[in-house]
Amino acid sequence: MDTLQFTKAIAHETRQEIMSHLCCVWLSVNDLVEKLGGKVNQPTVSHHLKILEEAGLVHIRQEGKYRFYTLNQERITLCCGMLIQTFAPDYQQAVIRVDDIE
């Protein structure tokens, strides 16, 4: 788990779009292809999902012939914390689950 893999994984317009669609939502690959509105085709979406998967940024649930993806928000938060620790050590962050305080 390093900052380089994390940043490379998310440093792409289409992947960030995919991530937005997967935020708090489970979607299949074809759902995503549709949401992206013809911008890219199915193999390309699969390719991007794989990169996100390898970086640990998505949860995956297989259901029949479908694979559902959703964002791993905890991991994203951790990686961002790591970035701050590495490149902004004079700042300190506390990451708090909203659930824990409300």
Partner DNA sequence: TTGACATATTGATATTTTTCGATATGATTA
Partner DNA sequence: TAATCATATCGAAAAATATCAATATGTCAA
Contacts with DNA by CB under 7 A lie at 8, 11-12, 14-15, 28-31, 40-44, 46-51, 62, 64-68
Instruction: Report how far residue 102's alpha carbon sits from residue 100's, in angstroms, rounded to the nearest whole number.
Output: 6
Q: How far is CA 82 from CA 56, 71, 74, in A?
A: 14, 18, 12
Which residues, at least 6 apart from 15, have a Cβ–Cβ distance to it below 8 Å?
Answer: 9, 48, 51, 52
Shortest Cβ distance from residue 88 to DNA (Å)? 21
Q: Does 97 bind a second copy (CB under 8 A)?
A: yes
- The residues of the shown chain that bind a second copy, judged by CB under 8 A, are 3-4, 7-8, 10-11, 13, 16, 19-20, 23-24, 71, 73-74, 76-77, 80-81, 83-84, 86-99, 101
